[in-house]
């Protein structure tokens, strides 16, 4: 089905920061499956985990425990400082589970409260519920009727959130940094203020870290930047490093699912969880995260100099950045980059987004800068 506009090239092989198509053309990949390939293309850790687990057990069905799931559940909840985790298959599925958990908690603890406050420009997934929750312009007209129960406020505005809280409010759902909106970074202390507000009103804070989690912003979880903890946390993309796995985590007071409330045929299957454990073993290491921060600083410096010379805005954190163009020429620049062997993303007509492997090297960042300069200077020709 025609659900995406794709170039007439077939990608056949990847290694680290590079992709090759069926004609042998090599591309420097600063999209990495939309921040999915945390360790780059075809990392040996994932290949080893797949081979080892595939020889033991693919799945025993969600009706049984499996060893990788139990081990990783313990590791992940400890790292996040939360009590329980349910593994799912995609970021959307994790966010859907988070909403279900919040609404059940509201029924049990807040008199049936069910409304969730989200933000304008947010992106939480493509299910009907999550399209209603998201603040992406135009989505409310695609598949009516729109599911009720979501109130949207400007991103980064804590006062606007406070003004919407009422007896039917059960949670605030927010991205620590808005990814699909073009790497929108909120004011300093935004999550900390939301945490305080939610505590004052006795409602839940849900952090959607499908894109920002797993080291992407320089810490294992982006909420660590504000030194807070959400009640519910969702992870995806980089969690599996390229395989389909996601997770919803919750603290003790919020973990109210009982058998029958949530599930899925492939949820927590040992093959995918074994891969996620192998990725986590690398990404959660303090020395690895220190290297991510060092590469992030280097990338910011290189981007900052070329943007300043051309009157281009720059925003982001860690290894997630956006260039804010003065004109709506992003698609033309992306096309120019593609023709020159560089993969970047245009989430908006005037925005370019960069999401490299967390293992990106300074040499590869230099290569990005050289090719980006050419595209920025000639991309709209």
Closest by CA to 303, choosing from 284, 316, 286, 290, is 316
Q: Find the DSSP H helices in the chain.
A: 32-35, 44-54, 67-80, 91-109, 128-133, 158-164, 190-201, 270-283, 286-310, 330-339, 362-378
The CA distance from 346 to 333, in Å, is: 9
Q: Apex CA 298: angle with CA 243 and CA 348, to 5°?
A: 60
Residue 123 annotated as catalytic: yes
- Catalytically annotated residue among 30, 87, 193, 208: 208
The CA distance from 343 to 27, in Å, is: 7
- Catalytically annotated residue among 72, 123, 150, 257: 123
Instruction: Please list the residues that pair with 15 across neighbouring strands.
Output: 18
The CA distance from 169 to 146, in Å, is: 18
* DSSP symbols for 144-200: SSPPS-EEEE-TT-HHHHHHH--TTEEEEEE-SSBTTTT-BPPPTTHHHHHHHHHHH
- Catalytically annotated residue among 87, 104, 237, 280: 237
Catalytically annotated residues: 123, 208, 237
């Amino acid at each position: 089905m025609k659900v995406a506009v794709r170039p007439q090239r077939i990608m056949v092989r990847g290694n680290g920061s590079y992709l090759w198509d069926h004609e042998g053309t090599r591309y420097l990949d600063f999209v990495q499956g939309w921040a999915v390939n945390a360790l780059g293309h075809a990392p040996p850790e994932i290949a080893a985990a797949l081979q080892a687990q595939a020889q033991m057990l693919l799945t025993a069905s969600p009706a049984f425990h499996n060893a990788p799931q139990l081990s990783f559940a313990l590791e992940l909840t400890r790292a996040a400082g939360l009590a329980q985790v349910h593994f799912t298959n995609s970021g959307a599925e994790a966010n859907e589970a988070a909403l279900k958990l919040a609404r059940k908690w509201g029924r049990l603890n807040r008199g049936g409260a069910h409304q969730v406050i989200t933000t304008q420009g947010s992106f939480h997934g493509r299910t009907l519920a999550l399209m209603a929750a998201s603040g992406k312009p135009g989505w409310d007209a695609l598949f009516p009727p729109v599911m009720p129960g979501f109130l949207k406020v400007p991103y980064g505005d804590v006062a606007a959130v406070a003004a919407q809280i009422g007896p039917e409010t059960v949670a605030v759902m927010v991205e620590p940094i808005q990814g699909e909106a073009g790497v929108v970074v909120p004011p300093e202390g935004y999550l900390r203020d939301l945490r305080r507000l939610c505590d004052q009103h006795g409602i839940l804070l849900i952090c959607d870290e499908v894109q920002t989690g797993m080291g992407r912003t320089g810490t294992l979880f982006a909420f660590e930047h504000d030194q807070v903890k959400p009640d519910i946390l969702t992870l995806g993309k980089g969690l599996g490093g390229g395989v389909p796995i996601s997770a919803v985590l919750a603290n003790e007071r919020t973990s109210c699912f009982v058998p029958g409330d949530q599930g899925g045929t492939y949820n927590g299957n040992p093959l995918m969880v074994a891969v996620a454990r192998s990725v986590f073993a690398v990404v959660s290491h303090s020395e690895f995260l220190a290297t991510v921060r060092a590469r992030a600083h280097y990338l910011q410096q290189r981007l900052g100099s070329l943007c300043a010379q051309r009157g281009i805005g720059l925003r982001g954190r860690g290894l997630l950045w956006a260039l804010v163009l003065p004109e709506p020429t992003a698609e033309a620049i992306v096309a120019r980059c593609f023709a020159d062997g560089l993969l970047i993303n245009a989430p908006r007509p005037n925005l370019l987004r960069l999401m490299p492997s967390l293992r990106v090297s300074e040499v590869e960042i230099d290569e990005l800068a050289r090719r980006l300069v050419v595209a920025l200077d000639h991309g709209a020709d």
